[in-house]
Amino acid sequence: MAVACGRQVTPNPPGLGAGGATQGTMVVKFDVAAPFDFSTYQYWVVFNTTGNGLTPLTNPQQNNWAAFSDAIQVGGIGGATYAHAGQFVKNSNPAIPPHFQQLITSPQQLQYVANSNGTGTEFTVTFTRSIFRPIATPSPGPTPTPKATPTPYAPNWTFNAFVTQANSQNQLTFVDSMGQGGATDTTYSNSPALGGICTNFDTVYYKIQDINPPTSAAAQLVSVEIANNGSPPCPP
């Protein structure tokens, strides 16, 4: 039995990497304090795969969203829930927020378990890392048009997790984050970089206690566990 940041992690099944991740995949477990409220909130794990060392924070306008490159977004509509992978497509006008472009993925590339702990407070998303490889860039014009480039992502990623107000435009109105300032936190800049994506790791990152937590426990982050299988070929 291995222990990561205070949580016991079960042994890996034979032939699988850390956290049971298969070759080239990452597993994310997202926990909140009370059952999810998908009618009111959306739940995000945002990755910075560029290698610039910046951590996604609640003031992304300060550096023109330079830390926001890819994300897993989980939400609900009409009683059903979903998980999307996407990229933040920067506009050529820095005053305009980026467009969150949903990526088309197969069931083999992204799997979503809505209630992975049986109490409604945890979901699990398993995805193939290579879905994030093409960095989307805006084309000239009044609205951004995604355009993939062959630029590979960096071997070390940073991340943050957020709870936002639910809206159909995927606008990020922050309600909570991993830092102590919650909806307005800018102190999580020293968040640990995820272990090299060409290595195996399984780490639990606990939410730093809020100074002013959200009123709804369904919006209160508890922890994010990220497991990775860095077996060759890597990077994809």
Q: How many whole angstroms from its chain centre is CA 229?
A: 17
- What pLDDT, on the 0 to 100 scale, is given for residue 15? 41
pLDDT along the chain (236 residues), means of 10: 38 50 93 97 94 91 90 93 94 82 94 96 95 63 47 79 89 94 88 78 92 95 94 68
3-class secondary structure, 18: helix
Strands in the chain per DSSP E: 2-4, 7-9, 25-32, 41-48, 70-77, 80-89, 99-102, 110-113, 122-128, 135-137, 147-149, 158-165, 174-177, 201-206, 221-228
Which residue's entry shows tokens 């992304």?
Answer: 60
Q: Residues 67, 158: contact at Cβ < 8 Å?
A: yes
- What pLDDT, on the 0 to 100 scale, is given for residue 171? 81
Q: How many CB atoms lie within 10 A of CB 24?
A: 21
> CB under 8 Å to 125, separation ≥6 — which residues?
27, 28, 30, 45, 72, 74, 83, 110, 111, 112, 113
- What pLDDT, on the 0 to 100 scale, is given for residue 152? 57
Q: Residues 224, 117: contact at Cβ < 8 Å?
A: no
Rounded Cα distance, 176 and 212, in Å = 10
Which residue's entry shows tokens 């193939």?
Answer: 128
For the chain, which residues make up each domain, given as ranges? 2-228
- What pLDDT, on the 0 to 100 scale, is given for residue 134? 62
- What pLDDT, on the 0 to 100 scale, is given for residue 18? 55
- What pLDDT, on the 0 to 100 scale, is given for residue 177? 97
pTM strictly above 0.75? yes
Rounded Cα distance, 18 and 84, in Å = 23
Between the CA of residue 55 and those of 15, 49, 50, 108, what are the distances in Å?
33, 10, 11, 29
- What pLDDT, on the 0 to 100 scale, is given for residue 97? 87
- What pLDDT, on the 0 to 100 scale, is given for residue 115? 95
Rounded Cα distance, 153 and 147, in Å = 15
